[in-house]
Amino acid sequence: MDMSENNNKIGVVFNPDVNNPYPILQVLEQTLSNKGIKPEVIALKDMKYGFDFVFAVGGDGTILHTAKFYAMSRTPVLGINLGRLGFLSQINSDEIENAVDKIFQQDYTIEKRMMLKSGEYVSLNDFVIKGISSTRSSRFVVNIDGKFVCDYIADGLIISTPTGSTAYSLSAGGPVLYPMLDAISIVPICPHTLTARPLVIPADEKISIQTGEYEENSLSLIVDGADIIETDNTIEIEKSKYTAHLALLEDDDFYSVLRNKLHWGISPKRVQE
């Protein structure tokens, strides 16, 4: 998309509940106006289609919801971070003018991030499966492509995309996956055995998770850390046919994000004597 064309429709999606977004919205609107484009500013709950490019202002949750919504229309989304870590966002509030310049100079790439689906629900980060009882561990029987794999006694399971591998999955001891890999990770939460380890499988395989023989007759499904759905005793998860389109500035590769936001591989500072 050529952003220098003034007939492009630009959307700005914001979360009104995150850290007073209005001063940032004003700066972004003015910066785009200086380029000859008047954006349409809409709240997260009022998202609609019809844009050529979308800025998402908020935390990672805002960007997750925005990127999933615009996956169906293949609209690129660029995140402006107002949250804490902001791993999915590309820019902070003091970098707006420089970022807009790069977008108009087409100095950016679009990464198509795989998503997962379970019934009518879609996740960009992960699905978390837990038993209905939150006070004790449950037994989870895992089958992949109709073949029995294992059963876990654990507090839950995280079924993650490569994008989500740096979120809850990482905190639970899961692997970091390069975001463009076509793979799914299965990570147990607080497993009650030393032999339970994370598993990475090809993305085209279908995962089925059931409660154990003597467990409750239902499970709970948490979608991207937000929506909680009570289901029956079987959950099926597979790769979605849609991909999220994340706009990434050329100077922000995955490894630099790991270093800058997760302090990956940085040695502790020596204590001064």
Question: Which CATH number does the domain housing residue 40 bear?
Answer: 3.40.50.10330
Whole domain around residue 215: which residue ranges? Answer: 117-240
Region 16-34 average pLDDT: 90
Phi-psi region of 140 (alpha: psi -120 to 50; beta: other; left: phi over 0): beta
Q: Residue 272 domain-assigned? A: no
Question: Of these residues, 60, 126, 155, 224, which one is catalytic?
Answer: 60
Q: Residue 223 domain-assigned? A: yes
Q: Residue 126 domain-assigned? A: yes
CATH of the domain at 168: 2.60.200.30
Q: Which pairing describes strands 91-92 and 77-81: parallel, antiparallel, or unpaired?
A: parallel
Asked whether residue 121 falls in the same domain as residue 95, the answer is: no
pLDDT tens, residue by residue, 96-122: 999 999 999 998 999 999 999 999 999
Asked whether residue 134 falls in the same domain as residue 80, the answer is: no
Asked whether residue 58 falls in the same domain as residue 163, the answer is: no
Q: Residue 49 domain-assigned? A: yes
CA 197 vs CA 5, 11, 80, 186, 262: distances in Å: 51, 43, 35, 9, 23
Residue 75 CA to residue 110 CA, distance in Å, equals: 10
> Poorest-confidence range of 113-127, 166-180, 206-220, 255-269?
255-269
Region 23-29 average pLDDT: 93
Residue 143's contacts (CB-CB under 8 Å, 6 or more residues apart) are: 149, 207, 208, 209, 210
Please say whether the beta carbons of 37 and 10 come within 8 A. Answer: yes
Where does a domain end: 106, 126, 150? Answer: 106
Q: Residue 259 domain-assigned? A: no
The mean pLDDT value of the chain amounts to 87
Asked whether residue 129 falls in the same domain as residue 230, the answer is: yes
Residue 46's contacts (CB-CB under 8 Å, 6 or more residues apart) are: none
Asked whether residue 102 falls in the same domain as residue 30, the answer is: yes
Asked whether residue 178 falls in the same domain as residue 92, the answer is: no
pLDDT tens, residue by residue, 206-220: 999 998 756 556 889
Where does a domain end: 82, 106, 130? Answer: 106
For position 250, what pLDDT does the model report? 66
Asked whether residue 136 falls in the same domain as residue 224, the answer is: yes
Torsion on CA atoms 235, 162, 197, 212, rounded to nearest 10: 0
Residue 136 confidence class, pLDDT cut points 50, 70, 90: confident
Asked whether residue 101 falls in the same domain as residue 121, the answer is: no
Indicate whether 265 pLDDT > 80: no
Q: What share of the chain is helix, strand, coil (3-state, %, to 5)?
A: 20, 40, 40
Q: Which pairing describes strands 147-154 and 219-223: parallel, antiparallel, or unpaired?
A: unpaired
Q: At what angle do helices 96-104 and 22-34 cross, to 10 degrees?
A: 40
Q: Residue 153 domain-assigned? A: yes
Asked whether residue 162 falls in the same domain as residue 219, the answer is: yes
Active site residue 227: no
Please say whether the beta carbons of 189 and 154 come within 8 A. Answer: yes
| β-sheet with 199-202: strand ranges across | 199-202, 183-189, 156-160, 126-131, 219-223, 227-231
3-state class of 242 per DSSP?
Answer: strand
Asked whether residue 102 falls in the same domain as residue 123, the answer is: no
Q: Residue 262 domain-assigned? A: no
Indicate whether 17 pLDDT > 50: yes
- Number of domain units in the chain: 2
